[in-house]
Amino acid sequence: MSATIVVGGFYGDEGKGKITAYLGLKDDYSIAVRVGSVNAGHTVVYGGRRWKLRLIPSAFINPNTRLRLALGSLIRLDVLWRELEETKCSGRLRIDYRAGVIEQRHREQELRDEFLVKVVGTTGQGVGAAMADRVMRKLKLAKDYAELRGYIGDVVGELLEAVERGEKILLEGTQGFYLSLLHGEYPYVTSRDTTASAVLSEAGLGPKHAGEIIVVFKSYVTRVGGGPLPGELSEEEAAKRGWLEIATVTGRKRRAAPFNYELARRAVRVNSATQIAVTKLDVLFPKAKGKRRWEELPVEARNWIERVEEELKTPVTLIGTGEEVLDTIDRRREVYGP
């Protein structure tokens, strides 16, 4: 069995947490792995509760799934302890012993950098500074912390053995394609690559381990921080359309623009997407809210999804119609058969 990879197609905030949580529930993966770091928040709404996760894999809501943080991850101990308490999944979590650890000095270093703060719009979480230390071979790793002793292990070895046994693995990417250090609009980018290829690398798996690659788009585009945003709306217009959002990690207002087919097309091509997920369809088409069957969607919403498929030459298999994880239309059987 191979790994399913979930990545973002725009500038982050596409709803990867919701889609990953849904897949975790419906497909019953043996292992869910999160890459990236604390500068990206994934929101999961399920059973009347809301979690804003910056480290724990969103598939934690399936109690049978083993949870792992990848060797390419950067963790912050205060965030880790808080999320373990909130999710009650301490017994299921393991961290690769080579994962990096962000220290307070990394946060302070970023917040002193005027270019990062005023131009790029850093989240100030210390991720970039810690990545720089990793490149310079100065970063402390999870294995160096006594308080992590009960959590660390060889996650890469475990994943390789799981793949060889035919187990199902879910890899949760963070941020979005156009925030990639390599593919994004430099210098208005994050400190790592965010593509499906990079997710595999951060988890410690190789190209032949990739199975389904799901690129997630929101029904409109949002962005936090500096950098270009084609078709950007005024804050007033975004609010009028219901597109004005607050970022999970920073609490900043997100800039907004209409769905961009040109940007989406490149994200699909570079990530080698096999499927597309679209979230917040109910924001674009309010009558779609809470629908869980394709036939229940208003005609204009179905027409819009079909245009996305036509423009991007890739099937839209998962459609989010509300915040709740299960407010999702799953078209995979329709597309691929039983």
Q: Which of 42, 106, 183, 209 is catalytic?
A: 42
Angle in degrees, CA 301, 306, 307, rounded to 5: 95
Cα–Cα separations (whole angstroms), residue 312 to 77, 116, 194, 268: 40, 34, 20, 7
Quote the CA–CA distance of 102 and 98 in Å, as a whole number: 13
Residue 18: helix, strand or coil by DSSP?
helix
Q: Which of helix, strand or coil describes residue 320?
A: strand
> What is the three-class DSSP state of 100?
strand
Distance CA 56, CA 34 (A): 7
Contact 319, 281 (CB under 8 A): yes
Could you say which DSSP state residue 125 is in? S
Q: Which two tokens stand for residue 155?
A: 């996650």
Helices 104-111 & 127-135, crossing angle to 10 degrees? 110
28 is catalytic: no
Q: Which pairing describes strands 152-153 and 49-53: parallel, antiparallel, or unpaired?
A: unpaired
Burial grade of 216 (CB within 10 A; 0-12, 13-18, 19 or more): buried
User: Which amino acid does the sequence have at 310?
Assistant: E
Q: How far is it, in rounded angstroms, from Cα 68 to Cα 337? A: 31
Residue 133 a catalytic site member: no
Catalytic positions, written as ranges: 13, 42
